Amino acid sequence: MPTLLLRFTIILEDNSSQTVARTRARYNMWNLSVGLYTKAGGVPWKLKEFTHTKSFIGIAYGIKKTEAGQAVLSGLAQIFDEFGEHVSMMSITSEAFGKDFMLETDGSCHLSEEKIAFLVERLIEEYKRKIDNPPEKVVMHKTSLFNEAEKEGIKEIFSKSNTSSYDLIHIMENSLQRLFSSERVAPARGTFWKIDNATALLYTTGYVQSLGTYPGIGIPKPIEFHLDESSSKLETIGKEILALTKMDWNNAAFMDREPVTTKYASRIVEVLKAGLRPDEVVKDIRYYM
C-alpha cells in the first residue's frame, strides 16, 4: 500500500459563493504580501531541522535552438541550507563551458568530471562563506541522471571539503506513472509509492481530506525520483522533497508541485535562454520570484 508521508489540514467555514470569493481575495492578498515581504529582504518561513542533511543543491538544464539550428545549452545550480533557505547560485552555458557541457542523444545534459567538480566547489565555497563551515551532508537534486563522470567529479570535491556523506537524486518531474485510488478520488498529497529499491513516486499535490477534493486543475501528477547514488532511505528523500515544495516564498499556495531546488533553477534557466548573460545573474533568488 502507498505510504502517506505528510498531510496538511485547512478548514473552510462553508462553501458558499460569497465565502469562496472572500477566500480567493484573501489568498491573492496573502500572495501579494508574501511576495513583497520576501523581495524586501524578509524571511517569511523556514523548515524545521528534520533530517541530517545540512545542504541541498539543485541543478537544472535547458536547450535553446539558434536561428541556424544550433543547440545552445543553459543550466543553473543553486545551493540551499538545511532550512531550505537559498544561499547562492551559479549559471552554466555551453558557450562558456564548451565541450565540457554535453547534450546526449537521449536529450539529457551532462557536465564533464572537471566542470561538475568546479561547479560544486564554487557552491560549497559560497556556503562556507555564509555558514562558516562546510556542510556535513549534502543532497543534490538534478533534472537529469548523474552519469559516471559527474559522480566522480562530485566525489572528489566532497572528499576535499570534508563532507562526510551525500545523496545524488535524479528528479523526473514528468513521470508517466500514476496511482489510482479504489475510492475514486485522487491520491492524497504526500502519497509515497516505492517502485524498487532506488526509485519511488511521490505526490506533492493531491487530494486533501479536509477539503474533500483535490484543489487543482486536471488530475495530480506525481514526481518520480531515483537514487543515482545514496545511502539514505527512499522515504527520507521523499520527505525532504515534499518539505522543499513548501519553500517557494513567492506565494502562499496551499501546495506546490516542485521542490524549490529544481523549480527556481528551471525558472532561471528560461531567463538565461531568453538572453541573460551568465555574468548578469544575480545570486539572490528573490530577484527571480
Local confidence band at 226 (pLDDT 50, 70, 90 cut-offs): very high
pLDDT at 9: 38
pLDDT at 182: 79
- Over residues 176-217, the pLDDT tens digits come to 899 987 777 889 999 999 999 999 999 999 988 888 888 888
Cα–Cα nearest to 58, from 35, 84, 38: 84
Residue boundaries of the structural domains of the chain:
3-288
Q: What is the rounded CA–CA span in Å between residue 284 and residue 132?
A: 19
- Over residues 111-127, the pLDDT tens digits come to 999 999 999 999 999 99
Strands (DSSP E) contained in the chain are 3-4, 55-65, 71-81, 86-93, 101-103, 109-111, 137-142, 165-172, 191-194, 199-202, 223-229
pLDDT at 280: 62
Report whether pLDDT(233) > 90: yes
Residue 1 neighbours by CB distance under 10 Å: 5
Chain centre to alpha carbon of residue 58: 6
pLDDT at 260: 94
Averaged pLDDT for residues 63-90: 84
Ranges of H-type helices in the chain: 17-39, 94-97, 113-131, 148-160, 234-244, 260-273
> Residue written as cell 532561471?
268
State the amino acid at position 25 in one-letter form: A
Residue 232 neighbours by CB distance under 10 Å: 18
Averaged pLDDT for residues 212-229: 90
Q: What is the rounded CA–CA span in Å between residue 153 and residue 97?
A: 15
Decide: 109 and 101 in contact? Cβ < 8 Å.
yes
pLDDT at 11: 38
Q: Which comes out higher in pLDDT, residue 243 or 30?
A: 243
Averaged pLDDT for residues 273-279: 68
Percent of the chain with pLDDT over 90: 45
Local confidence band at 13 (pLDDT 50, 70, 90 cut-offs): very low
Q: What is the rounded CA–CA span in Å between residue 255 and residue 165?
A: 30
| 154 contact partners, CB below 8 Å, separation of at least 6 | 116, 117, 120, 140, 146, 166, 168
CATH for 3-288 (3.20.20.140, 3.30.420.10, 3.40.47.10, 3.40.50.300): 3.30.420.10
pLDDT at 2: 60
- Write down how long the chain is: 289
